[in-house]
Amino acid sequence: MKTVVFKIKRQANPDSAAQWECFEIPWKPGMNVISSLMEIATNPVTTGGVTTSPITYDANCLEEVCGSCAMVINGKARMACSALVDQLEQPIRVEPLTKFPVVRDLAVDRSVIFENLKAVKAWVPVDGTYDLGSGPRIAPSEQEEAYPVSRCISCCCCMEACPQFNDDTGFVGAATIAQVGLFNSHPTGKALKHERLAALMGDGGIQECGYAQNCVEVCPKDIPLTRSISEVSRDVMAQAFTDLFRR
């Protein structure tokens, strides 16, 4: 019988030491890492014959839309639901993202991205208490520019791969910068443009980016992060310059 071997890094709680466990499960056509974790959960016995607990992980949509199943698979940050077993070298090594606190096993706390998105006001400000009528029209060419960036699923793969995203820099990361560009380009969203760009100035802001482009290589949604970062960087510089002469 054809089988698949997994080595999975596990951790019982945020403070406990990590350890590796090995599992061998039957091969099935089209299986991916999440379906394999589900299979392991039906009979959580290691290759050494030890009965253990099912592996904890985050997942929801199973179609690369919710952004919750990001893990490090064979050394690369990616979505587990779209990681096809047949395309991976075995044993398949699965680890939690390394730049985020582990909650348990493969589940990590990625709340930092939501705090960063709040800090830059990554939304279109709309007063929903009364009928505003239809919104401003957006030309198809502008929609085509904005759409790729709007596909961000907040998975944090770009931050995991970024050499600048660490506790020393406090860098916000590529996803947040791209969302600043997206909401600043929206006819209603641009009302907060000044505040968004101001939030990217100083420590942890856009100047921390070293343009290494690791982010764009791992983004599962092919978001043009390099273009976004350079456009937002240009806007931040222009605003810093204008603010200087306003004083």
Contact residues toward ligand FES (CB under 6 A) are: 59-62, 64-69, 79, 81
Between residues 40 and 71, which has the closer beta carbon with respect to ligand SF4?
71
What's the rounded Cα separation, in Å, for the pair 108 and 99? Answer: 9
What's the rounded Cα separation, in Å, for the pair 224 and 231? Answer: 11
Q: What dihedral angle (degrees, nearest 10) is formed by the CA atoms of 59, 63, 67, 68?
A: 0
Between residues 163 and 187, which has the closer beta carbon with respect to ligand SF4?
163
User: In angstroms, what is the minimal distance from the CB of 79 to ligand SF4?
Assistant: 9
171 and 218 in contact (C-beta within 8 Å)?
no
Size of the site for ligand SF4 (CB under 6 A): 25
Q: Residue 71 binds which one of ligand FES, ligand SF4, none, with CB within 5 to 8 A depending on kind?
A: none
Helix and strand totals (H; E) in the chain: 8, 7
Strands 92-95 and 3-10: parallel
User: In angstroms, what is the minimal distance from the CB of 157 to ligand FES?
Assistant: 10
Q: Does position 82 bind ligand SF4 by CB under 6 A?
A: no
Q: Does position 73 bind ligand SF4 by CB under 6 A?
A: no
Among 18, 22, 45, 212, binds ligand SF4 (CB under 6 A): 212
DSSP H helices, the chain, are 33-42, 111-119, 140-150, 157-161, 174-185, 193-199, 214-218, 225-246
Q: Does position 215 bind ligand SF4 by CB under 6 A?
A: yes
Q: Does position 98 bind ligand SF4 by CB under 6 A?
A: no
69 and 79 in contact (C-beta within 8 Å)?
yes
Give the contact letters, 41-70, x = binds to ligand SF4 (CB under 6 A), - = no: ------------------------------
Between residues 68 and 228, which has the closer beta carbon with respect to ligand FES?
68
18 and 10 in contact (C-beta within 8 Å)?
yes
Query: Packing angle between helix 140-150 and helix 174-185, nearest 10 degrees?
Result: 160
Give the contact letters, 169-198, x = binds to ligand SF4 (CB under 6 A), - = no: -----xx--x--------------------
User: In angstroms, what is the minimal distance from the CB of 182 to ligand SF4?
Assistant: 11
